[in-house]
Structure 1
Amino acid sequence: MAGSLRIAVLAKQVPLHDDLCLDADGRLRREGRPLEMNPYCRRAVAKGVETARATGGACTVYTLGPPAAAEVLREAIAWGADDGVLITDPVLAGSDTLATARALAAALRRDGPYDLVVAGLGSVDADTGQVAPQVAELLDLPLLTGVRDLTVEGRTLHARCERDDGYMIAWTRVPALISVAERSCDPCKVPQDRRAGDDRITVLTSADLGPGPWGAAGSPTRVDEVRTAAARRAGVRLSGPVELQVREAVALLAASGALSRPAAARGPGSAVAAVPPPVPPVAPVPPVAPVLAAPGGSGAAGGPVTVLAETGRERVTRELLSAAAALGAHRTVLLCGQRPDPCTAWSWGADEVVVTRPEAEDLATAAALLLADAGTGTVLAPGTTWGREAAARLAARLGAGLVGDAETLETADGRLVCWKSTAAGLARVSVHSPVQLATVRPGVLPVLPPRAAGAAPITAAHVAARGRVTVSERVAEDDPADLAAARVVVGVGQGVDPERYAELKPLLDVLDAELAATRKVTDRGWLPRSRQIGITGRAVAPALYVLLGASGKNTHMSGVRRAGFVLAVNPDPHAPVFASADAGVVAGWAEAVPALVGELRALTG
């Protein structure tokens, strides 16, 4: 290894994960609540310090927030960072992800150049994963996302990066930006007094960053309303012998009709809402025709809708095309990296297809060229690793608003409006820019029946490849579409020993169910991260969700808010999961599962 690296780390302070809540204006409530460094950022700091020491370089940690956010820097310095920079100013309050990225990029330009910028994969308060790729775009840097293992050889970075369905092996040259995965290394966490680092903290205000606009004034997205994440569940907690509890639970399940509800029942009256909806929408969602409409609709989405398609993700592409139809798009353009069959593309809802390079950065460039002519429009992208980078880069390039991980889409006065989950509740976010973007959580939107026969014209967008990231290997360990399309999902928490997962097979078989997990399970590597449900994982909308051996905190249950029926099994009668379930069995999973299998076999034959 040759040459020292000058490293910058981006860190964020959030309220303690179990204590997250929102104010009426959609901002995180901090006053009077315990605060901590975002868990993902703990890995970023640890990796930044480790890499700086290994290369003989230096590590500076940046954070944006109120004066109290200096505690993040004290902790980082105590862990080994050389110094810290606090970006704080009342003017910066209310920054959305783009305004935050602009402020961070301005500070990095002011103090740079840096060889390597390190960020966490996301944040536990929203986990949109937008800031890192937006900073990369603003600083014109290559990006490696979800880095699990990192090796530095001179000016070259070799990384194993987590993807939605597995991992990839890639390399790039510095300067570069990386976001690190949850399991990349042990987190920085220093319990002792940290006040000794105050003399190594520099404070920047908006005046140091440039003319702006900053904060809410420079934010093209706006939180219009927040609602407490109160699940509309029956909350029946059973008691007595396990066999009796299970019998009563299955009777409630049978009465709900969840086992017999057809998949097409999702989303009555809306192409963008599953059943049951998390909350009544503020404005009526456009109705759904029984089949995809022909082009030339109302144009309620404010111009054409462009769908960014990830290669190999047919299910989510069809979800996005269906959503475009429901938004009243007068024209839907499918922008993809692989030439599709024109008749198939038409049947899915594409009025025209533009083919370009499949890499996220190059596809974002092609999208920017397409939108430059129109000047307005809506862009929908999948809430995947690839989709987040493509949409975030495009938003930064255009100065456009981007809503991350939307679960419901609608329009109001030509503006794109999205409902999305946060760790503390539901937020209604609107976009106030000529081009409006959203990434959409895979699996939460229904797929409309195919459109009548036709063929979408196909053209090519010629974009020169940047070629800054070279991928040498891609490994798919799972198919996320299986979980998204499942009518029944069984989730496991850390209370289920992974060596006993085989004992769950009879339950999975009798329900024809897919297996999912909480974050603590995937953090330990017991199941692939693509199987993680919750605010930092996936959202699913099955007819039935069965949760075994998990406490059922809101950060997980937000991912199954759209499930038809929730059955929970936990030996602790005070576990929070029972308030978020329709029926709860107070028992150990090992006792309850065999009884469940017997009752379900008797019910279903």
Structure 2
Amino acid sequence: MARPLKIAVLVKQVPKFESLRLGGDRRLRRGGQQLEMNPYCRRAVAQGVELARESGGECVVLTMGLPAAEDCLREAVACGATRGVLVSDRVLAGSDTLATARALAAALSRLGQFDLVLCGRNSVDGETGQIPAQLAELLDLPLAAGVRELALKDTTLVVRCEHDDGGLRAELSLPALLSCAERLIHPAKAGPAERAAVPAHLLSRLDATQLGPGPWGDAASMTEVGVSRRLDSNRLRLRHDGDVAAQARSVVAELAERGAFDIDPEPLPPPVPGPCPGAGTGDVVVLAEPGRDRLTQELLGRAAELAVPTGRRVTLLGPAPPNLAVAGSWGADVVGTLTGSNAERDLADGVAAWCRARTPWAVLAPSTMWGREIAGRVAARLGVGLAGDAIDVVLDAQGELVCWKAAFSGGLVAAVTCRSAIRFATVRGGSLGLLAPRAAVAVRGPDLAVDPRPGVRAAVREFDGRLEALAVARAIVCVGVAVPPADYPVLNPLLHALGAELAATRKVADMGWQPRARQIGVTGRSVAPRLYVAIGTSGKLTNMAGARGAGLVLGINSDPRAPLFDAVDVGMVADWRDAVPQLVTALKQRGLQHGTPLLARGSTR
């Protein structure tokens, strides 16, 4: 390395997943929660420490929160960080992601110029994944999100990023900001005794007055969290036990009767015009990510539902939007193309310029790495509200946009509204239904040229199999750790019979048995197949929240007390090795062999 590096690492204190519990009223039990450093942030600390040591530089770790969050800094210093800085003040209470990013940007600026800023891919409690993009925009830095491999050559970073359906290889010039994926490096961890032994002089604090005039906290936040409600399961919870062959025959009969094997689902009706308070000017804009037609169609359908009652237009923007006939049938009135660059940072410049010139009412983007970076950068640039990773977006009685966001591992959803004139939201794919195509052709709007900004170059996208495979699958089989990779071929006949895609729980993805692009759950993907089959999973909220949009859910577990059976329509109390062959036989007996061949993937190690 050419010179010592000054590295900043941003960490967050979160509740341990295992300590999140819901009471009988489905509300979070706040007492007795265990707190820890966000798992993704542990990778950022470890990587920052390693790079600082190799270059002879320093690694400064920052966190923003209550005084108790100092424990994260102690752990980071115990693991080799040079020092820790706590950003804490009552004035900072109520900060949304934009206010948090602004405070962290001010803290970093006060501490001097850094060559590299590292943070976690996202926090496991909020899962918005917005702060890296918003902070990168405020600091005018290039961003590589979800970094899984990293090499530094002089002042150039060569990275491989873990994205929604595969990855991205890119080169970035320093200074830069990286968000770290879970398998980038072994996590930084230190025990209570090591944390307690950290000298006090290696820890310092910054308050709001040291950050600057503000505003800070709630006063600087452009979003507001309102009521929360239970994410009630409407599953049938039918359970079968006893002879496995008899179970399989009964389960297949029940699923067939309820339409689980119907190939073409009935689409939702198109929006019907009607009066609604709050009608006014300003388009509803949808950002179209290249290659994600299903997601674009979902967003356009919902945009049309939001726009029609208020007399607004739906505008589709993207670097490669569908043709006018297709876009119009999905709900777009106007289509605009962003030309000149496909880089997220450059596209954000174009979207920001478009928003400044036209002041749209709302902008909906996919909750993917692509959508989060563009929406996060534009919201930070314009100072507007951004509701991240919403599972639903609707109009309230006053005609205001309400974004419902999953919270506390999917057990509750909270209503998020924006205080700004332009409302941004990223929406999780698979959460919204598809509307019936309408007989309409969109008109072409003016193209908008964007100029490339320096910092990121040689970006090459790489995808895991077919893009949007899980999004368009009519059946999905999700496996847990009880199904080892060596046994995946046993699932092939079932995958073939159902025409199903293979997916996995978080633990399976963490162990490298399946790509993260195949992970279902709060920190993974949401899906909406006609049939979802859970095999060898416990049925935790963190996983089953991702299957909320499924038409029917079948669960297989040998433990009759497993929480899985409270989250399924039909359950089999059986060893999966016995159940799967019997299900295949029952499907054949009913003539339900209309699937297409699909081999299960083995270990990715």
Q: Under a length normalisation based on structure 2, what TM-score does the superposition of the two structures give?
A: 0.91
Runs of 5+ in structure 2 lacking a partner? 593-605
Aligned match of 2:405: 420
CA distance in 2, matches of 1:126, 1:534: 13
Residue 332 of structure 2 corresponds to residue 347 of structure 1: no
Aligned match of 1:281: none
Is this contact kept in 2: 1:301–1:414, CA < 8 A? no
Superposition map of 1:370-449 within 5 A: 370-412=354-396, 413-422=398-407, 423=409, 424-449=411-436
Residue-by-residue CA offset, 1:550-586 (whole Å, 9 max, x unaligned) = 1111111110112222111122232221221222222
- Give the percent of matched residue pairs that are identical in Structure 1 and Structure 2: 51
Aligned match of 1:477: 464
Secondary structure class of the residue paired with 1:106 = helix
CA distance in 2, matches of 1:139, 1:547: 43
Secondary structure class of the residue paired with 2:550 = coil
Is this contact kept in 1: 2:291–2:467, CA < 8 A? no
Displacement of 1:188 in angstroms is: 1.0
Superposition map of 1:173-192 within 5 A: 173-192=173-192
CA distance in 1, matches of 2:321, 2:418: 31
Aligned match of 1:19: 19
CA distance in 2, matches of 1:460, 1:299: 30
Aligned match of 2:518: 531
Is this contact kept in 1: 2:276–2:399, CA < 8 A? no
Aligned match of 1:114: 114
Displacement of 1:37 in angstroms is: 0.8
Aligned match of 2:602: none
CA distance in 1, matches of 2:377, 2:125: 21
- Tell me which moved more, 451-460 or 381-390: 451-460
Tell me which amino acid in the other structure corresponds to 2:261.
L
- Tell me which moved more, 213-222 or 402-411: 213-222
Aligned match of 1:504: 491
Tell me which amino acid in the other structure corresponds to 2:52.
A
Superposition map of 1:477-496 within 5 A: 477-496=464-483
CA distance in 2, matches of 1:344, 1:235: 39
Q: Cα gap change, 1:253/1:485 in structure 2, threshold over 3 Å: closer, same or farther?
A: same
Residue 555 of structure 2 corresponds to residue 554 of structure 1: no
Displacement of 1:379 in angstroms is: 0.5
Superposition map of 1:36-55 within 5 A: 36-55=36-55
Displacement of 1:458 in angstroms is: 3.6
Aligned match of 2:87: 87
CA distance in 1, matches of 2:131, 2:22: 20
Aligned match of 2:529: 542
Is this contact kept in 2: 1:27–1:94, CA < 8 A? no
Aligned match of 2:58: 58
Is this contact kept in 1: 2:304–2:332, CA < 8 A? no
- Tell me which moved more, 222-231 or 96-105: 222-231
Runs of 5+ in structure 1 lacking a partner? 272-287
Residue 288 of structure 2 corresponds to residue 314 of structure 1: no
Q: Cα gap change, 1:88/1:255 in structure 2, threshold over 3 Å: closer, same or farther?
A: same
Residue 234 of structure 2 corresponds to residue 232 of structure 1: yes
- Tell me which moved more, 303-312 or 444-453: 444-453
Is this contact kept in 2: 1:221–1:431, CA < 8 A? yes
Tell me which amino acid in the other structure corresponds to 1:210.
G
Residue 147 of structure 2 corresponds to residue 163 of structure 1: no
Displacement of 1:301 in angstroms is: 8.1
Residue 343 of structure 2 corresponds to residue 359 of structure 1: yes
Aligned match of 1:9: 9
Displacement of 1:233 in angstroms is: 2.2
Tell me which amino acid in the other structure corresponds to 1:541.
A
Residue-by-residue CA offset, 1:214-269 (whole Å, 9 max, x unaligned) = 2222221112122233422233343323223333433442343333384225x5x7
Aligned match of 1:282: none
Displacement of 1:496 in angstroms is: 0.7
RMSD: 2.4
CA distance in 2, matches of 1:46, 1:524: 19
Is this contact kept in 1: 2:174–2:455, CA < 8 A? no
Is this contact kept in 2: 1:299–1:328, CA < 8 A? no
Residue-by-residue CA offset, 1:433-478 (whole Å, 9 max, x unaligned) = 1110111111222333333253422422122210321135322222
CA distance in 1, matches of 2:230, 2:91: 28
- Tell me which moved more, 126-135 or 223-232: 223-232
Aligned match of 1:172: 172
- When the two structures are aligned, how many residues end up with a matched partner? 580
CA distance in 1, matches of 2:202, 2:344: 38
Aligned match of 1:195: 196
* Selected match of 2:303 from 304, 320, 324: 324
* Selected match of 2:501 from 499, 503, 514: 514
Displacement of 1:38 in angstroms is: 0.8
Residue 284 of structure 2 corresponds to residue 305 of structure 1: yes
CA distance in 1, matches of 2:246, 2:346: 59
* Selected match of 2:222 from 220, 229, 240: 220
Residue 560 of structure 2 corresponds to residue 573 of structure 1: yes
Secondary structure class of the residue paired with 1:379 = strand
Secondary structure class of the residue paired with 1:263 = coil
Q: Cα gap change, 1:27/1:141 in structure 2, threshold over 3 Å: closer, same or farther?
A: farther
Tell me which amino acid in the other structure corresponds to 1:350.
A
Secondary structure class of the residue paired with 2:307 = coil
Aligned match of 2:206: 204
CA distance in 1, matches of 2:586, 2:58: 62
- Tell me which moved more, 184-193 or 238-247: 238-247
Tell me which amino acid in the other structure corresponds to 1:9.
V
- Tell me which moved more, 353-362 or 157-166: 353-362
* Selected match of 1:593 from 576, 580, 586: 580
Aligned match of 1:276: none
CA distance in 2, matches of 1:472, 1:447: 32
* Selected match of 1:263 from 256, 262, 265: 265
* Shift >6 Å, 4+ stretches: 26-29, 296-299
Is this contact kept in 1: 2:93–2:217, CA < 8 A? yes
- Tell me which moved more, 135-144 or 403-412: 403-412
Is this contact kept in 2: 1:405–1:439, CA < 8 A? yes
Secondary structure class of the residue paired with 2:503 = strand
CA distance in 1, matches of 2:283, 2:420: 14
Aligned match of 1:154: 154
Residue-by-residue CA offset, 1:248-298 (whole Å, 9 max, x unaligned) = 433442343333384225x5x7x7xxxxxxxxxxxxxxxx24xxx89x999
- Tell me which moved more, 61-70 or 189-198: 189-198
CA distance in 2, matches of 1:509, 1:142: 44
- Tell me which moved more, 315-324 or 6-15: 315-324
Is this contact kept in 2: 1:12–1:38, CA < 8 A? yes
Secondary structure class of the residue paired with 1:459 = coil
Tell me which amino acid in the other structure corresponds to 2:201.
D
Residue-by-residue CA offset, 1:397-428 (whole Å, 9 max, x unaligned) = 11111111112111233421111222142122
Displacement of 1:485 in angstroms is: 1.7
CA distance in 2, matches of 1:339, 1:562: 26
CA distance in 2, matches of 1:419, 1:39: 25
Tell me which amino acid in the other structure corresponds to 1:195.
A
Q: Cα gap change, 1:469/1:581 in structure 2, threshold over 3 Å: closer, same or farther?
A: same
